[in-house]
Chain A
Amino acid sequence: QVQLQQSGAELAKPGSSVKISCKASGYTFTSYYISWIKQTTGQGLEYIGYINTGSGGTNYNEKFKGKATLTVDKSSSTAFMQLSSLTPDDSAVYYCARERKNYYYSGGVMDAWGQGASVTVSS
Chain B
Amino acid sequence: DVVLTQTPVSLLISLGGQASISCRSSQSLVHSNGNTYLHWYLQKPGQSPQLLIYQVSNRFSGIPDRFSGSGSGTDFTLKISRVEPEDLGVYYCLQRTHNPYTFGAGTKLELK
Within 8 A of B (CB), among A12-39: none
A112 to B41, CA, bound (A): 11
Which range holds the interface residue count of chain A?
Answer: 20 to 34
By DSSP majority rule, is chain B's interface helix, strand, loop, or mixed?
A: loop
**Cross-chain contact of A61 among B39, B60, B92, B101 (Cβ < 8 A):** B101
Within 8 A of B (CB), among A89-123: 95, 104, 106-116
Determine whether A46 belongs to the interface, using a CB cutoff of 8 Å to chain B: yes
Chain A proximity mask over B29-52: 1 for CB below 8 Å, otherwise 0:
000010101010000000011110
Chain A proximity mask over B78-112: 1 for CB below 8 Å, otherwise 0:
00000000000000101011011111111000000
Whether the Cβ atoms of B51 and A47 lie closer than 8 Å is no
Whether the Cβ atoms of A111 and B101 lie closer than 8 Å is no
Determine whether B10 belongs to the interface, using a CB cutoff of 8 Å to chain A: no
Whether the Cβ atoms of A107 and B55 lie closer than 8 Å is yes
- Return chain A residues, CB-CB under 8 Å to B67: none
**Cross-chain contact of B101 among A44, A95, A106, A108 (Cβ < 8 A):** A108
Measured CB to CB, the closest approach of chain B to A40, in angstroms, equals 12
Q: Which residue of chain A is the closest to B100 with respect to CB atoms?
A: A61
Whether the Cβ atoms of A108 and B100 lie closer than 8 Å is no
A47 to B37, CA, bound (A): 15
A108 to B35, CA, bound (A): 12
- Return chain B residues, CB-CB under 8 Å to A61: 99-101
Measured CB to CB, the closest approach of chain A to B96, in angstroms, equals 4
Whether the Cβ atoms of B37 and A44 lie closer than 8 Å is no
**Cross-chain contact of B54 among A46, A47, A62, A109 (Cβ < 8 A):** A109
- Return chain B residues, CB-CB under 8 Å to A106: 54
Determine whether A45 belongs to the interface, using a CB cutoff of 8 Å to chain B: yes
Measured CB to CB, the closest approach of chain A to B31, in angstroms, equals 8
List residues of chain A with CB under 8 Å of any chain B CB.
Answer: 44-47, 61-63, 95, 104, 106-116
List 5 additional A-B contacts (Cβ < 8 Å) besides A61-B100, A108-B101, A109-B39: A44-B105, A46-B103, A107-B37, A107-B96, A108-B96
Q: Could you list 8 A-B pairs, sorted by A, with CB under 8 Å? A: A44-B105, A45-B103, A47-B94, A47-B100, A104-B33, A107-B97, A109-B55, A113-B49
